[in-house]
Structure 1
Amino acid sequence: MSRRFRHAALVGKYHAQGIRGVLDEIARFLIAQGLEVSLERETALNTGLADYGSMTPAELGQNCDIAIVVGGDGTMLGIARQLARFNIPLVGINQGRLGFITDVPIGQFAEALAPMIAGDFEEERRSMLEGGVWRDGDMIFEGLAMNDVVVSRGATASMVELKVDIGDEFVANIRADGLIVGSPTGSTAYALSAGGPILHPGIGGWVLVPIAPHDLSNRTIVLPDSREITIEIVAGRDASVNFDMQALASLLHGDRITVRRSAHQVRFLHPLGWSYYATLRRKLHWNAGVA
């Protein structure tokens, strides 16, 4: 059944050149469509757009029923983590090249958004990763990721040795530059450049990708996302962990990173006719077949 939205959150890559005019144009378009518009607070402060209300991400989550995100995939990742617990659908408008998750070109935002606001859209849900770092029995860091959790060596240090357990089962000790635990969304990010496979977003799984492993037999594994992964720092100096853009450096030997499926999912809305495979063709330059 078609439905209209009531209150739109507007989030932008506020340090991008020309973003103020773009956001103002989109806000005015949304208001003309009958929606109330509130800007994310940092977006409003950094662009000087004072004609619309501004709210923190938590306030947007409590008051809005759709979020329009203008920028690139990094901008989307940042706000998606904060809004996922509110179950708000997100629409990505890309300022530059086509993104994997910001798929509406800026020049086509009006023709794409009008039918979506009226209720005509494709919807999909993406899984997320959550976990933390444990030291001497205490959690010292907690993170949420849409793309991946990456454990890596220090900038000037040699490789790290990592002990990997899945659930209660020991998997291996891996000596490498690092290790990526990627979601299906993250399988087309760092994990792909490190030699991992592409996972369709509908798959309930993760990729476990060693980064430049010492033993060439250490290969990527595709895992179900139903069990917790534990990665322990066995050897190596200045190792760090990143949950998307949230980082903790200077991990110590014996520190354990745990990763599990989050209870929250991210909701994306796309224009009717949107295709995941068409996105792959365009983004990865698979030029064979229909554009």
Structure 2
Amino acid sequence: MKLQFRHVALIGKYQANGSRSALEAIAHFLSQRGCEVSIEQDTANNTGISQYPILNVAGIGAHCDLALVVGGDGTMLGIGRLLARFGIPLIGINQGRLGFITDIAFEGFENVLGPMLSGEFEDDKRWMMQATVVRDGHCVFKATAMNDVVVNRGATTGMVELRVEVDGRFLANQRADGLIIATPTGSTAYALSAGGPLLHPSVGGWILVPIAPHTLSNRPIVLSDSGEITVELVSGRDASANFDMQSLAALMIGDRINVKRSESQMRFLHPKGWSYFDTLRKKLHWNEGVAVGAQSRTSHEI
């Protein structure tokens, strides 16, 4: 079958046991299929793989037409944030538990990856968040997030008070342990643990989820992702803002965190026939204990 992807970059979670052998096996498979293979710079430096060309992120963006990530969702999101501006699609192969976006098992990957290289895949585009921390009118920190932007109280202090605005309009003052602004992708992460709803990736929305709010009527709300959310720290010591749990910014009273939709999308490729609902069932253990072939309850039974 004709190849759709000619030059593939390999990125690995190089801290994991067996990562080098897994990467070498995948690289060998790609080469046999006629793909040119390059290794991402940090992956090469930390695994010692040297028989393939080595590229940094900019080099991957300039020369490759596919990035293949071997690791978990965290590895995928980390490199995905960097490659999104180049429009490079990503495929995830997971050596351990299958993730929400790294959904190809390493065992038997050849049977799944082969058809995908020839164009048999489901295309899944996800918007990201662009966030800035503004202090005294000046931007002191900025980051891109795929899952969420979180404002948290200090580890040894009480609640924080936050003023929340949407498109410049006052929404509420909230006293809580923190506040989560999550994308649909992030709706299955921290936001879900804090009581937020699931949001399908095709929905153009964000979720605003308070963490242990002082007022129990302070509930999660779904907002359009076309606007801008601003969170101002009114009170609270040692508060911080974090972006996908990786980038941290210590906050001062009066700091404003502005969140808007990024100009770039992250693009994931899944095997043909992939369904978001299948992923939810597997990861959230839905239908466990339900007999095979059980029928849905009819309306008069509800």
Fold match by TM threshold 0.5: yes
1:257-284 deviations in whole A, cap 9, x for unaligned? 0000111101111111111100000000
Residue matched to 2:51: 51
Q: Rg larger in 1 or in 2?
A: 2
RMSD of the TM alignment (CA)?
1.3
> Which blocks of at least 5 consecutive residues in structure 1 are unaligned?
none
Residue matched to 1:259: 259
SS of residue matched to 1:107: coil
1:47-77 deviations in whole A, cap 9, x for unaligned? 0011111111121111100010010000001
Q: CA deviation at 1:250?
A: 2.7
Residue 208 (str. 1) matches residue 208 (str. 2): yes
Separation of aligned partners in 1, 2:26 and 2:59 = 21
Q: CA deviation at 1:210?
A: 0.3
Q: CA deviation at 1:80?
A: 0.5
> Which blocks of at least 5 consecutive residues in structure 2 are unaligned?
294-302
Letter in 2 for 1:239: A
Q: CA deviation at 1:108?
A: 2.4
Residue matched to 1:232: 232
Matches within 5 A, 1:127-276: 127-276=127-276
Q: CA deviation at 1:3?
A: 5.3
Separation of aligned partners in 2, 1:205 and 1:191 = 14
SS of residue matched to 2:107: helix
Q: After TM superposition, which residue ranges in structure 1, 4 or more long, deviate above 2 angstroms?
A: 245-250, 287-291
Residue matched to 1:63: 63
1:3-47 deviations in whole A, cap 9, x for unaligned? 521100100000001100000000000011111111111111000
Residue matched to 1:4: 4
Relative to structure 2, which stretch is displaced further, 48-57 or 74-83?
A: 48-57
* CA distance 1:4–1:161, change in 2 (3 Å): same
User: How many pairs does the alignment contain?
Assistant: 290
Residue matched to 2:37: 37
Contact 2:5–2:118 at 8 Å: present in 1 too?
Answer: yes
* CA distance 1:202–1:289, change in 2 (3 Å): farther
Separation of aligned partners in 2, 1:3 and 1:87 = 19
Contact 2:141–2:249 at 8 Å: present in 1 too?
Answer: no
Letter in 1 for 2:89: P
* CA distance 1:100–1:158, change in 2 (3 Å): same
Q: CA deviation at 1:249?
A: 3.7
Separation of aligned partners in 2, 1:3 and 1:20 = 25
Contact 1:240–1:247 at 8 Å: present in 2 too?
Answer: no
Separation of aligned partners in 2, 1:66 and 1:7 = 7
Letter in 1 for 2:162: L
Q: CA deviation at 1:128?
A: 0.5
* CA distance 1:50–1:226, change in 2 (3 Å): same
Letter in 2 for 1:85: R
Q: CA deviation at 1:290?
A: 7.1
SS of residue matched to 2:223: strand
1:214-265 deviations in whole A, cap 9, x for unaligned? 1111100000111100000000001111111443343100000000011110
1:70-109 deviations in whole A, cap 9, x for unaligned? 1000000100100000001100111111100100011021
Letter in 2 for 1:104: I
Letter in 2 for 1:181: I
Contact 1:57–1:83 at 8 Å: present in 2 too?
Answer: yes
Separation of aligned partners in 2, 1:289 and 1:62 = 51
SS of residue matched to 1:80: helix
Contact 1:196–1:220 at 8 Å: present in 2 too?
Answer: yes
Separation of aligned partners in 2, 1:59 and 1:156 = 44
SS of residue matched to 2:26: helix
Separation of aligned partners in 1, 2:25 and 2:10 = 11
Contact 2:162–2:232 at 8 Å: present in 1 too?
Answer: yes
Contact 2:9–2:39 at 8 Å: present in 1 too?
Answer: yes
* CA distance 1:289–1:279, change in 2 (3 Å): farther
